[in-house]
């Protein structure tokens, strides 16, 4: 992409409404613009990152055996009246009437709808286990939308739902998602600690939240630092026995949010030097709630004995749009964002220091074409602007590598290569520079 052809409106000054780094940088780096409280437009570079995150989530869902669907954002109130949640959900749910006077709502979540979809086409245990998910916009009329996309009113969520013939199978499904979430967050460059949670309005008996550490997080967290050293965070578990053992280890260790924290247990179970008291951002939340919705909505399957039983369900959420903010909270410095390579909006930036110099421009164009051919997805800053502004913008948008070409180095066939994360700069022959970037 050529910057001159790209809608990437950066801002030099800090917007007054932004209280935390991720919100500041998402506005300044031209990723989002606010349209109403908690409602945002994603501009091209923001959308590119959002899509990359969603694609990693998709890839890991496929690996875990889940099927992608796409349910609508608008739902009719009837199923929610049947489950009893239409009244229970409260003012966070946006309700309205269509032209025929039917009550509709903008989905805050989809347990009822997916249960209805399931029951219409699945009648036998032979089709199970099943896990269906979608990545779709949700609306929750939050009292206090804040911190940009971290607590929006309209936000993108991956929500998945598992269906099993009995409790034992459903618990295994839950554990599989639990472990696959660790891998998903790892691919996004994050260590998300699973914490025992309240089940809240979803209801049910088993629930964990996944939190990443951030000073500006909304929840206080208390956990045993030994957890993040568990091999489940870094290695792939190959079979169900290993997976269940990892689940047992991780859930036996102390990890709670302020809502569920029990100080006496924390003191008794966790050695002083391993106690972490910090703040966290919830990026995922999973529930096993048994037959709560299947009983209310009549979703049964025949079991191996030919008997009709209500299907056992779980639901599994990842805050896809919140993750953009969460990843920036975990990866930035005073100059801007520092993208982890896997989700960086472009693989490498190329700065043309002097666009009215024919030599610089042709060297940059050539390098840009080579970088494209090598699959490095380059962003070429070909704007006619002072170098200081170009450097500052490039730091702000945080691409992993930046190649700078100016008239002085070019005389000797040299470019400068900078690593955004380490800040390390080196002079490299232009002929070798892309190989260096590819090598990492
Ligand atoms: P929170 O406690 O932060 O309000 P929640 O428990 O209500 O979240 P869930 O119903 O568990 O949220 O939704 C699944 C995921 O969706 C959350 O883990 C979070 O990452 C994301 N999410 C929830 N609410 C919002 C929001 N208002 N803005 C952005 N992401 C959100
Ligand atoms: Mg939650």
pLDDT (tens, 9 = 90+) of the chain, 440 residues, equals: 999 999 999 999 989 989 999 999 999 999 999 999 999 999 999 999 999 999 999 999 999 999 999 999 999 999 999 999 999 999 999 999 999 999 999 999 999 999 999 999 999 999 999 999 999 999 999 999 999 999 999 999 999 999 999 999 999 999 999 999 999 999 999 999 999 987 666 556 799 999 999 998 999 999 999 999 999 998 988 899 999 999 999 999 999 999 999 999 999 999 999 999 999 999 999 999 999 999 999 999 999 999 999 999 999 999 999 999 999 999 999 999 999 999 999 999 999 999 999 999 999 999 999 999 999 999 999 999 999 999 999 999 999 999 999 999 999 999 999 999 999 999 999 999 999 999 98
**Which ligand places an atom closest to the C-alpha of 151?**
1
| Residue of minimum CA distance from atom 9 in ligand 1 | 285
pLDDT of residue 198: 79
Q: Which atom of ligand 1 is nearest to the CA of 287?
A: 11
Q: Which atom of ligand 1 is nearest to the CA of 218?
A: 3
**Which ligand places an atom closest to the C-alpha of 136?**
1
In 3D space, the residue among 198, 341, 356 whose CA is nearest the CA of residue 262 turns out to be 198
Residue 32 contacts residue 345 (beta carbons within 8 Å): no
Residue 136 contacts residue 71 (beta carbons within 8 Å): yes
Q: How far is the CA of 343 from the centre of ligand 2 (A)?
A: 24
| Residue of minimum CA distance from atom 1 in ligand 1 | 282
pLDDT of residue 202: 59
Phi-psi map region of 338: left, alpha, beta (phi>0 left; psi -120 to 50 alpha): beta
Mutate which of 200, 319, 326 for ligand 1 pocket (most atoms within 8 A of beta carbon): 319
pLDDT of residue 379: 98
| Residue of minimum CA distance from atom 15 in ligand 1 | 319
pLDDT of residue 339: 98
pLDDT of residue 428: 98
Distance CA 274, CA 428 (A): 44
| Residue of minimum CA distance from atom 3 in ligand 1 | 282
Q: How far is the CA of 34 from the centre of ligand 1 (A)?
A: 19
Q: Which atom of ligand 1 is nearest to the CA of 157?
A: 16
pLDDT of residue 332: 97
pLDDT of residue 42: 98
Half-sphere exposure in the Cβ direction for 132 (13 Å, CA) = 18
Ligand 1 site residues (CB inside 6 A) read 109, 140, 142, 151-152, 155, 157, 282-285, 317, 319, 321-322
Q: Backbone phi, then psi, for 10, in 5-degree steps?
A: -85, 160
Q: Rounded to a whole number, what is the distance in angstroms from the first to the last CA of the chain?
A: 21
Q: Which atom of ligand 1 is nearest to the CA of 145?
A: 27
pLDDT of residue 236: 86
Strand order of the β-sheet with 401-405 is 378-381, 348-352, 401-405, 414-419, 425-429
| Residue of minimum CA distance from atom 23 in ligand 1 | 319
**Which ligand places an atom closest to the C-alpha of 259?**
1
Q: What is the DSSP string of 107-162?
A: -S--HHHHHHHHHHH--BGGG-SEEEEEEEEEE---SS-BTGGGB-SEEEEEEEEE
Mutate which of 190, 282, 324, 325 for ligand 1 pocket (most atoms within 8 A of beta carbon): 282
Mapping DSSP to helix (H, G, I), strand (E, B) and coil, where does residue 224 land?
strand
């Amino acid at each position: 992409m050529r910057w001159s052809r790209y809608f990437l409106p950066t801002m030099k000054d800090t917007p007054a409404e932004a209280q935390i780094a991720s919100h500041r940088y998402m506005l300044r780096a031209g990723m989002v613009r606010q349209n109403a409280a908690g409602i945002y437009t994603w501009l091209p570079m923001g959308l590119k990152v959002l899509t990359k995150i969603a694609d990693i989530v998709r890839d890991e869902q496929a690996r875990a055996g889940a099927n992608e669907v796409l349910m609508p954002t608008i739902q009719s109130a009837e199923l929610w009246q049947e489950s009893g949640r239409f009244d229970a959900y409260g003012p966070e749910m946006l309700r309205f009437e269509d032209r025929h006077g039917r009550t509709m709502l903008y989905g805050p979540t989809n347990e009822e709808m997916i249960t209805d979809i399931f029951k219409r086409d699945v009648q036998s245990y032979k089709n199970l286990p099943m896990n269906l998910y979608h990545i779709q916009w949700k609306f929750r009329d939050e009292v206090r939308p804040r911190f940009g996309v971290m607590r929006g009113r309209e936000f993108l969520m991956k929500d998945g739902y598992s269906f099993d013939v009995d409790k034992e199978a459903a618990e295994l499904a839950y554990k599989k998602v639990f472990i696959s979430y660790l891998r998903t967050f790892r691919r996004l460059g994050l260590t998300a600690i699973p914490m025992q949670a309240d089940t809240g309005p979803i209801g049910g008996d088993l629930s964990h939240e996944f939190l990443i550490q951030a000073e500006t997080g909304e929840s206080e967290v208390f956990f045993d630092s030994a957890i993040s050293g568990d091999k489940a965070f870094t290695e792939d578990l190959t079979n169900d026995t290993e997976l269940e053992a990892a689940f047992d280890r991780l859930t036996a260790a102390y990890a709670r949010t302020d809502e569920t924290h029990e100080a006496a247990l924390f003191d008794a179970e966790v050695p002083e030097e391993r106690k972490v008291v910090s703040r966290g951002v919830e990026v995922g939340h999973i529930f096993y709630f048994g037959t709560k919705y299947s009983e209310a909505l009549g979703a049964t399957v025949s079991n191996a004995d030919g008997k009709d039983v209500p299907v056992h369900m779980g639901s599994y959420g990842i805050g896809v749009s919140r993750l953009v903010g969460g990843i920036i909270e975990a990866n930035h410095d005073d100059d801007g964002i520092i993208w982890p390579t896997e989700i960086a909006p472009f693989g490498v930036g190329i700065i043309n220091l002097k666009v009215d110099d024919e030599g610089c421009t042709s060297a940059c164009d050539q390098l840009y074409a080579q970088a494209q051919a090598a699959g490095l997805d380059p962003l070429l800053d070909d704007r006619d602007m002072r170098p200081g502004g170009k450097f500052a913008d490039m730091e702000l948008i945080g691409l992993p590598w930046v190649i700078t070409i100016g008239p002085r180095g070019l005389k000797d066939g040299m470019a400068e290569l900078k690593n955004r994360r380490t800040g390390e700069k080196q002079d490299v022959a232009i002929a070798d520079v892309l190989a260096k970037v590819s090598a990492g």
